[in-house]
Structure 1
Amino acid sequence: MYEYKFIRLELRGLIESKPKQDYHAIVEEHAKEGWRLVQVLAPPTGAYGTATHFELIFEKQI
């Protein structure tokens, strides 16, 4: 059985959207805690189907 953790990262900028936080550091920090990155989700919630945020989805075996 697994447990899951979802971390939402907001994006900034109109033409070149960039995350407001350092997602590399977030992934490395969670890996040290035993979490495994399984997916990056960028839902098309903004204008013209662009993403305004993305979510890092982690899993860890219970």
Structure 2
Amino acid sequence: MKEYKFERVEVKGLPGLYSKAKEDYRGIIRNHAQEGWELVQIFTPLTSVYGGTPYFEIIFSKDV
């Protein structure tokens, strides 16, 4: 059986123009990997006309 964890990362700037993650997503992934979590997917649930998003979610899983 798997357990799932979702980490939301906010994006600053205009969606699609000059936007940047507010946190270092690479560091988030590394920290979770050290705790036994495996990266499943980085998901952007909403996109604007210009292809931007106000946030994205990093999805992790691990065996229970």
> Please, what TM-score do these two structures have when normalized by structure 1?
0.89
Q: Which has the higher strand share?
A: 2
Partner residue of 2:54? 52
Count the aligned residue pairs.
61
Q: Which runs of 4+ in 1 moved over 3 A?
A: none
Cα distance in 2 between the residues matched to 1:50 and 1:22: 18
> Please, what TM-score do these two structures have when normalized by structure 2?
0.86
Cα distance in 2 between the residues matched to 1:9 and 1:22: 9
Alignment gaps of 5+ in structure 2: none
Cα distance in 2 between the residues matched to 1:50 and 1:19: 11
Cα distance in 2 between the residues matched to 1:53 and 1:30: 19
Partner residue of 2:20? 18
% of aligned pairs identical? 51
Question: Equivalent of 1:38, from 33, 37, 40?
Answer: 40
